Structure 1
């Protein structure tokens, strides 16, 4: 029996406590800083657009096929819950109509083949393109996924980087505007330099790791085939509910099973239509974000569930169709109800009828899918999105969700829902539009002015480096404090020698032939003499005050503080001691370690709760030492502690 939905407020009152908890969790743990997300997204797009322009110049064949880029995934649908530093961007290409492309359905639901019935015609229209496309079209004129992504796209990308980007560096310019009413005033043009530090081939995408300007971005580039409405798939697939958008994509993703000619199988993608379905539905997206985040990712990740984000989104697509069969833009009543009512519904007996089943509320629907052992693909219900799980895995998911739902129903209080949602992988920044990337650019502007003021500073300065929690993804408080290091390189003529001492973690730096510098640059030697003593040791406090702060003062910038890093003890010549910093290496060590960063942030929150006087760096050091114990090589392998266990285990692990 399916419970009828009531319009009365009494139906919602039982969820008042949960509502408070959900609103708090959505604000504190789930929502992203919109300004930061938009800034990062624009930077990613600008970099990819510039890469695309270079690729088009590098390959006339690619230039002929290329149509546009399309931002896909949660980063562009308003569903992202982790730090806004991962983006999916599709590279859309259109097959020439002269080849007569035909979409062929097969025995694998959700997948199709694309055959170019008159591929040979292309040789007469564009011989160069025909030659290039032969690398990813087989002898039966089928378009091939692996070859299109690898032999064609990857090779063009590799050539583009090699021939155009020295040291994999790419520069972009961004304009900053001040908006007052309807008037926008250009206030600055910032030039950014980024490095493509890593390229990986993962599934249908090749993933770029992009670093620079205090950012660390991961961009999945997915080459896709763009098809118009004349190719819309037939039997077994839903009709397009919209006249516009009318086109759809083929993604080079093969089925996870052994099949002859597996490289001929393409996954259909209806991202444009799905975006229309969930657009502007009040509480739909917040509800879906809650499903995705700690814990329906914590229900997934904490309990070890392997249900994909797309499978969770599919549940919402089915619900939208059930409440609005025409998908004509009317907001169903459900999404106008309180958030708690959207997420949770009283426990009831689930019907075996799918049509009745979709009349339930979202957590109930998710539980019902797990009970049935199936989440049918929205566009072709023959495809089961849980087919990658075993029966025992699905049953474990069911028991976990059932237990949580029962707990929430029996105890509809803020703390009940918060214990499943708090302590997450994402903390919302509540500050203004100024964040780590913008601060980094401001400091770069200041640095440029300092170089103009002091030729000695310009000679020594190499670059700025964003350090500390704000630039490592470990920040747990307000984003009002930033650590940015000035990196200097001492002239080789001075023969700098690093000398170890009796104080662990500290060294002395002696410029053995400092006098030789006078032969190269009298002015630089004169300036550096302020912070080099009679025995040619580099001095910490003198370098900061007599040199850097002096340049600041002359550049007429407002005063700011540089915290000295000398040993906290009495010692002769204390001003000779410098604290070593290996922040670049440490950032590499903790990068992409699954639950490591969330666990570090959780321990920092616990420290703050108890008022313990333990530094953030000390907490991070504990994790780095444990990582080295479990993985002495400190290579890309992430130990099971952080990759296979729930976050709760990572935190309480001995």
Structure 2
């Protein structure tokens, strides 16, 4: 047109033809991720920019000299009762997979399985419409979930307590416990000076599945007592008063100067039953007494069924018994100062009868360190910020929860496993944490490997019939007197079956 100057076409430099990047369904996740790691250049609307190098080539890593697999036998010096701290074997640092699903912090809303970051690519600039953002096929995402690592993470998501259920259950339990405690303090009885102490898996933040079981201690301080060890067990004691002042409310529980655990628990149960009858606005009852149990169990049936174990405990602020001298082996883990500080805390005695043949000794009390266990589980890292907000995470508690769930599910199916309990699992993992104190040894990226190592150790404890109490090294929780060999072999078989077949029992809940 007249008056308009025609603009000459701009010259273009010739470029070699770029090969189109193809993503096959059978390609690796790492390859698909690499293929989409570079966005198109401005104006490149008809061609996809090819990244440098071979996108399917995996990086290689050099093995560290002296790297070795963890030897479970190195843990035995702690778990089987040897004094001192177990030798610290090197924990293998395996090469992490190309992409890992993010580890969800404890008590956070679980992420949807489809939301895992399988193949994240950078956002494309506006106008680059011919090159779409690469997405991993659904089959690939599902494949990640079906790996041992992915399956265990999914199990943990199922085991998480729902916040609304936690709040609802805690409100119900707190209301009833507070009422019982208040009424017990206001009546003239031997237990009017009791104080509340929360213990158990719920307060240790390792409760699984549902907040339907709570443990609460009603502690009663007893000054100036003398302990007489029962049959060299280290765990069970007869309790005497060094001096019985006139008007001691516990004096009528004495049998030849011995404070009878069974008599005192029986009176404690009687008072609780009387107070429960006065609670008219809740559907609650006291369950029948279980032989050898130190607890009075309340069953709340409405709106949901909740079990509350109220445990009478004698509190002593004296030095810990001599049987605990070599226990609590945390010097190389949480430190010597921490161990000294914890041993200055009171210890507790619960009315647990020692088993004598097929009967129970009614006068005995058993040592309890549940308050120390709760502290350790909350402060488990060698680094003070482990699992705190803003700190690095570990999978210590995850391994504990998985093993607790495995044992719980097996016990539901097999009566032969009745003798085993979650305390065996907790004791075993405390020994495991002691032998492997570094936080990096419990990296959540290696959850499957850590859990497998724990299973190996637990099975060896069953085979050797040795699992020593964490605070009382000479007290064997897997002794023949407590659990017969047949039951241990049966549990070994069931654990190995689940382990070798990808834990099918986890698919049943």
* Shared fold, TM over 0.5: yes
Distance in 2 (CA, whole Å) between partners of 1:54 and 1:374 is 44
Establish whether residue 391 from structure 1 lines up as the match of residue 468 from structure 2: no
Shift of 1:196: 2.3
Structure 2: 5+ residue stretches without partners: 1-68, 72-89, 101-142, 329-338, 381-393
Match of 1:48, SS?
A: helix
Task: Give the conservation status (yes or no) of the 8 Å contact 2:354–2:362.
Answer: no
| CA deviation profile, 1:23-68 (whole Å, cap 9, x unmatched) | 111113x2221331233123212211111111111225422x32x2
Query: Helix, strand or coil: the match of 2:374?
Result: helix
Are positions 1:25 and 2:155 aligned together?
A: yes
Is 2:303 aligned against 1:204? no
1:223 corresponds in structure 2 to 312
Which structure 1 residue ranges, 5 or more long, are not aligned?
170-192, 325-329, 345-360, 408-415, 425-654
Distance 1:82 1:257 in 2: 36
Closer, same or farther in 2 for the Cα pair 1:262/1:246, shift >3 Å?
same
Say if 1:58 and 1:158 are closer, same or farther in 2 by CA, change over 3 A: farther
Q: CA 1:402–1:217 in 2, change beyond 3 Å: closer, same or farther?
A: closer
Q: Distance in 2 between matches of 1:276 and 1:335?
A: 21
Measured on the aligned residues, the alpha-carbon RMSD in Å equals: 2.9
Pairwise CA distance, 1:10: 5.1
Alpha-carbon distance in structure 2 between the residues aligned to 1:242 and 1:309: 27
Q: Describe the superposition over 1:449-500 as per-residue Cα deviations: whole angstroms up to 9, x where unpaired.
A: xxxxxxxxxxxxxxxxxxxxxxxxxxxxxxxxxxxxxxxxxxxxxxxxxxxx
SS in 2 for 1:83: coil
Output the CA distance in 1 between the equivalents of 2:404 and 2:424: 10
Larger relative contact order (C-alpha < 8 A, sep ≥ 6)? 2
Aligned pairs for 1:222-241 within 5 A: 222-228=311-317, 230-235=318-323, 237-238=325-326, 241=339
Choose the corresponding residue for 1:73, options 200, 207, 226.
200
Structure 2 counterparts to residues 153-172 of structure 1, below 5 A: 153-161=268-276, 165=278, 168-169=279-280
The Cα shift of 1:381 comes to 2.7
- Retained in 2: the 8 A contact 1:94–1:227? yes
Q: CA deviation at 1:243?
A: 1.0
Q: Which residue of 1 aligns with 2:469?
A: 377
Question: Offset of 1:236 from its aligned partner?
Answer: 5.2
Corresponding residue number in structure 2 for 1:298: 409
Q: Which runs of 4+ in 1 moved over 6 A?
A: 11-16
Corresponding residue number in structure 1 for 2:401: 289
Task: Report whether the alignment pairs 1:43 with 2:158.
Answer: no
Name the counterpart of 2:429. Answer: 316
2:226 touches 2:242 (CA, 8 Å); kept in 1? yes
For 1:341, which of 449, 454, 457 is the aligned residue?
A: 449
Distance 1:340 1:392, change over 3 A: same
Please show how residues 542-581 of structure 1 align to structure 2 within 5 Å. Answer: none
Instruction: Give the aligned partner of residue 582 of structure 1.
Output: none
Structure with greater helix percent: 1
Q: Secondary structure at the match of 1:89?
A: strand
- State the shift of 1:150 in Å: 0.7
CA spacing shift, 1:210–1:397, aligned 2, 3 Å: closer
Per the alignment, residue 149 of structure 1 pairs with: 265
Q: CA deviation at 1:296?
A: 2.9
Aligned partners of 2:220 and 2:314 also within 8 Å: yes
Any conservation in 1 of the 2:206–2:400 contact (CA below 8 Å)? yes
Q: How many residues align?
A: 348
Displacement, 1:298? Answer: 2.6
Deviations 1:423-474 (A, max 9, x none): 22xxxxxxxxxxxxxxxxxxxxxxxxxxxxxxxxxxxxxxxxxxxxxxxxxx
Alignment partners' CA distance in 2, 1:400 and 1:220: 29
Structure (1/2) with the larger strand percentage: 1
* TM-score when normalising by structure 1: 0.49
Show the counterpart of 2:241. Answer: 116
Q: Of the candidates 91, 95, 108, which is equivalent to residue 5 of structure 1? A: 91
2:16 maps to which residue?
A: none
Instruction: Please list, as runs of the form range in 1=range in 2, the aligned pairs for 1:611-622 lying within 5 A after superposition.
Output: none
Cross-structure match for 1:88? 215
Looking at structure 1, the residues matched to 270 and 407 of structure 2 have their Cα atoms a distance apart, in angstroms, of 39
CA contact (8 A) 1:58 1:159 kept: no
**Equivalent residues of 1:87, 1:219 under 8 A apart:** yes
Q: Would you say the 8 A contact 2:466–2:476 is kept in 1?
A: yes
1:365 Cα deviation from its structure 2 partner: 0.7
